[in-house]
Amino acid sequence: MDRPSSTSSFSWRRLPLGALFAILLLAGLELATRALFKPPFVSLETYTGNYPLAPQYGFEGSRACFPVHEQMSCAPTQDMNIIPQEFPRKKPAGELRIIVIGASISWEGPRASKSDGNYPSRTFELLERAHPGRKLRLINLSVPGFGSTRQVIRFREALEYEPDLFIVHTHDTNEVREDQRRAYVRNLHSGVAGKLLYSNAVVVLKKWWTDALGVPTPRPSSADSDEETAGLDKAAKLERWEKGLEHNVHTMLDMAKARSIPVVLVGASRADTTDLCGGRGRALNGFLSTLVTGSSVQFLDVPALFRAAIERKRRKVFKDAIHYNAEGSHLVADALAPLVETALPQLR
Amino acid sequence: MLFNTGRFALFFSLVFLANWLLGKRWRAQNVLLVLASQWFYACWDYRFLGLLWFSMLVDYFVALRLEASTDPRRRKWLITLSVSVQLGILGLFKYLNFFVDSGAALLEKFGFGAHPVALGIVLPVGISFYTFQTMSYTIDVYRGLIPAERNLLSFATFVSLFPQLVAGPIERARRILPQINAPRRLPPEALYSGATLILFGLYKKVFIADNLATVVDQAFSKTESLTRAEAILALYAFAFQIYGDFSGYTDIARGTAKLLGFDFALNFRRPYLARNPSDFWQRWHISLSSWLRDYLYIPLGGNQRGARRTLLNLFLTMLLGGLWHGASWTFVLWGAYHGLLLVVHRLLKPALSRVQPSGAVGGGLWSVLRCALMFHLVVLGWLPFRAHSLLEVKQVLLSIAERGGAWGEASTSAKWLCACTALLMLLELAEELWPHFLERRQFWARGLVYAAVMLSILIAGAPGGQTFIYFQF
């Protein structure tokens, strides 16, 4: 076999010009997409920068909020599951800023709308009505599927935006999804295919391709979570999720306490949830109730609230196993508004 | 270790580098290639390395004895021994389960309760390919076409060379052994064409075959409830899936071989542009069809024993060719179908040549018509090849014949099919009409095509390193 030697004569014809031109084209495409597409068309790098603990690719929907200079911009990503909103890091004078950290129950659809009837906007409506002179702002950073690990990340990020109060809605059912997500993301980013997500051209064209052909969005499956918790039996898995959740709630409360920001906790929807988390709703709510300290940490016991309503008026409060219907949202909002008023000295 | 994985990329990079550093020391290169090939095969299942070596050693020694002997009876005995051993290996590992189960089913049909023992024999990967390769070698030595290879290392390189070990092409000794026993060159052109072959192979596998696999697998998981549109689309999709999968594998095999200094035979030549069944088999899995021609069809008498015998030989060759693919009645049906196509074509050939229009336009249209007809006949033939059972074949045919139904989800599949195959078919058509079409373009035109191919792999290549269909054979 001939090895190239320094004495061999050079010929332009020997250069694979076609291949070189192709590489040049691809490089040009990469530069063009980097110049033209800022977030919300995002690459892995964008996410990694914002969520160092949970880097993920927009297709599955990390619903990212991007700090841009002195402003946080929450934009719909490929998954379209975030409430589009922008808010400055420094709040305007006189504004009372309430930030909701939660998951699907407190999420309000792709568009922030008070009339949607979910409990955060309903609560906000009640507060605005009760305090017409106050300049209130509700920033809902809830994202469907978020468990407590990613809520901590979002909480930490939100702290920089001068909140006056946090409403933290954490519930047991999303803890398993956190495991699914972690394993899913790890698989997605493994190997060469994962590295390609650092390319803006690949991400943008991938989106274009999947949109054009109607390719279904990949979703984490329970098999992913099995992979994450391989070797653990069901009891050990439950313990792991429970401990993780408790640790994360403590972390959020500690961070809030360090800045003297009051927190209202909303727990599991049902005391008897029998899904993947094995009916730990009661245990979670029991734990959350022990954290209540005066007006700085309050807790809304939703199952107790609903139990009373159901027994009293025989009303339906759920639209599925855990999500509230309009009736349930109103009930929660009615109970939450006074807690917010108690927690916020400016509203007392 | 699949060709479409990072693991193989790393393995091949190391082998390529070591092979290149060894320069003109081809014997040392052969040692390297044999060791690398054993490692490659052991990654599948190291237990079957013994079987590979057994098959190899039998034919190595038989060939030496064949060459040394002048006694026709002894030579006949030796070749019978070699063929029996190779077919015995194939029969035991590939077909025993099938014959036992089929026999039991037959007995049960006649009222005898048969309870066959579950043999649980695992099919060693590549067995159909390397047994056929060594068989062709001993038969060629027996026929006096090539001398026996005395160097065991060279022979082991020929049989176990990793690019072709698990799914061909089924190389002939007369083509490869001279390359093994001489210094190999790697001019820049070979480097370039090898890399291009690998790129196009990956494109066919990762972009076309693996993406269409989702459409096909979905359809064949519910054959009892397919709509007409879904069934038809699944067949078209499978036609391109298997082409992308197998020819993609072959391209990567040829490309990697080229980078190691070898020149493998062409295995696919735009098969879906074939004009008749005979033309198709000169374009599809050429190394197998030429093997079947040389070592089965011709020994059966070929076309030298009258018209009827020729037709029977054609049919039998294809029937056995079908069975070579797998131990299942569906493959027998597929082989019989292609045998029948060849027979009918041979019968109609005189009539077809009489009605063939003259003139450029008429002739061209006639070719297009034949191409289209042949393509659809081939697509229909893929049904038994893909189906798991004869019942599934029946269900899909019934879906096409009787069931209507809206396009529904099938429209997505249709979009997939067009998007995945458009570029490939355009390139193949251009190559068919203007040979070396791509090579003769300006560098920027080639660059555009390469960029499109690379982008297709990058943005829409199915992840996960899915296995190749022909590995099961």
- How far is Cα B277 from Cα B308, in angstroms, rounded to an integer? 18
CA distance from start to end of chain A:
87
Q: B37 by DSSP, 3-state: which?
A: helix
How would you list the strands of the sheet with A165-169, edge to edge?
A: A135-140, A95-101, A165-169, A263-266, A297-300
Query: CA B273 to CA B375: how far, in whole Å?
Result: 7
Is the pLDDT at A154 greater than 70? The verdict is yes
Q: In this predicted model, what pLDDT tens digit does every residue of A192-204 receive, in sequence order?
A: 667 777 777 887 7
Asked if A191 has any chain B CB less than 8 Å from its own CB, the reply is yes
pLDDT given for residue B466 in this prediction: 67
Per the model's pLDDT, the better-predicted residue between A114 and B304 turns out to be B304
Find the closest chain B residue to A207 by CA distance: B459
pLDDT of residue A53: 33
Say whether residue A216 is in contact with chain B using an 8 A CB cutoff.
no
Tell me which of B115, B285, B325, B388 is the catalytic residue: B325
What is the reported pLDDT for B164? 87
Name the domain boundary from B134, B160, B184: B184
Ranges of residues in chain B with a pLDDT under 70 are: 96, 98-99, 103-104, 106-107, 110-123, 403-410, 462-473
Structural domain tally of chain B?
3
The answer to whether the CB atoms of A214 and B412 lie below 8 A apart is yes
Which residues of chain B make contact with A205, given a CB cutoff of 8 A?
Answer: 455, 458-459
Classified as helix, coil or strand, A74 is strand
B354 and B422 assigned to the same domain:
no
> In which band, very low, low, confident or very high, does the pLDDT at A57 lie, cut at 50, 70 and 90?
very low
Distance (Å) from the C-alpha of residue A236 to the closest C-alpha of chain B?
30
pLDDT value for A48: 39
The verdict on residue B381 lying in a domain is: yes
Q: Say yes or no: B468 and B384 in one domain.
A: no
Any domain includes B275? no
Query: Rounded to an integer, what distance in angstroms lies between the CA atom of residue B4 and that of residue A191?
Result: 12
* Identity of residue A220: P
User: Which residues in chain A are closer than 8 Å to B189, comparing Cβ atoms?
Assistant: 14
Q: Interior CA angle at B325 toward B319 and B328, to 5°?
A: 75
Q: Are residues B165 and B195 in the same domain?
A: no
User: What residues of chain B lie within 8 A of the CB of A21, using their CB?
Assistant: 443-444, 446-448, 450-451
Region of A23 (left: φ > 0; alpha: ψ -120 to 50; beta: rest) is alpha
Domain boundary among B184, B207, B241: B184
Interchain pair A21, B447: CB under 8 A? yes
Q: Of A125-139, A247-261, B292-306, B399-413, which range is least confident?
A: B399-413
Strands (E), chain A: 65-68, 71-74, 85-88, 95-101, 135-140, 165-169, 263-266, 297-300
- B125 and B193: one domain? no
The string of DSSP codes covering B272-299 is GG-SSHHHHHTTSSHHHHHHHIIIIITT
Task: Check: pTM over 0.90? Answer yes or no.
Answer: no
Residue A166 clears pLDDT 80, i.e. is over it? yes
Q: B361 and B220 in one domain?
A: no
Please determine, for residue A317, whether its predicted confidence score (pLDDT) is greater than 60: yes
| B20 vs A209, more confident | B20
Pairwise CA distance, residues B64 & B52, whole Å: 19
Write out chain B residues lying below 8 Å of A199, CB-based: 458
**Residue B274 placed within a domain:** no
pLDDT digits (tens, 9 = 90+) for B382-403: 999 998 888 889 988 888 887 6
What is residue A188's three-state secondary structure?
Answer: helix
B250 part of a folded domain: yes
A90: DSSP letter: S
Pair B82, B170 in one domain:
yes
Residues B125, B204 within the same domain:
no
B362 and B422 fall within a common domain: no
Rounded Cα–Cα distance for residues B117 and B101 (Å): 9
Instruction: Identify whether the C-beta of residue A127 lies closer than 8 Å to the C-beta of residue A140.
Output: no
Residue B273 included in any domain = no
**Domain range enclosing B125:** 6-184
Best CA proximity match to A165, nearest among A65, A301, A332, A298: A298
Q: Are B27 and B137 in a shared domain? A: yes
Residues B165 and B292 in one domain: no
Q: Is there a domain that residue B17 lies in?
A: yes
Which of B184, B211, B242 delimits the end of a domain?
Answer: B184
Domains recognised in chain A with CATH numbers: 35-347 (3.40.50.1110)
B1 part of a folded domain: no
User: CA of A1: which chain B residue's CA is closest?
Assistant: B185
Contact: A19, B195; criterion CB under 8 Å: yes
The verdict on B167 and B259 lying in the same domain is no
Higher pLDDT, A165 or A149: A165
Mean of the per-residue pLDDT values for chain A? 75
Describe the strand order of the beta sheet including A85-88 as a list of residue ranges.
A65-68, A71-74, A85-88
Q: Tell me whether residue B115 is one of the annotated catalytic residues.
A: no
Residue A77 phi/psi, 5° resolution? -95, -160
pLDDT of residue A196: 75
Same domain? For B216 and B240 the reply is yes
CB within 8 Å: B443 and A192: no
Per-residue pLDDT band at A25 (split at 50, 70, 90): very high
Separation in Å, CA B413 to CA A210, B213, B404? 13, 11, 17
Other beta carbons within 10 Å of A12: 6
Q: What is the CA radius of gyration of chain A?
A: 24
Q: Which amino acid is at B329?
A: W
Q: Does the structure show a pLDDT above 50 at A63? A: no
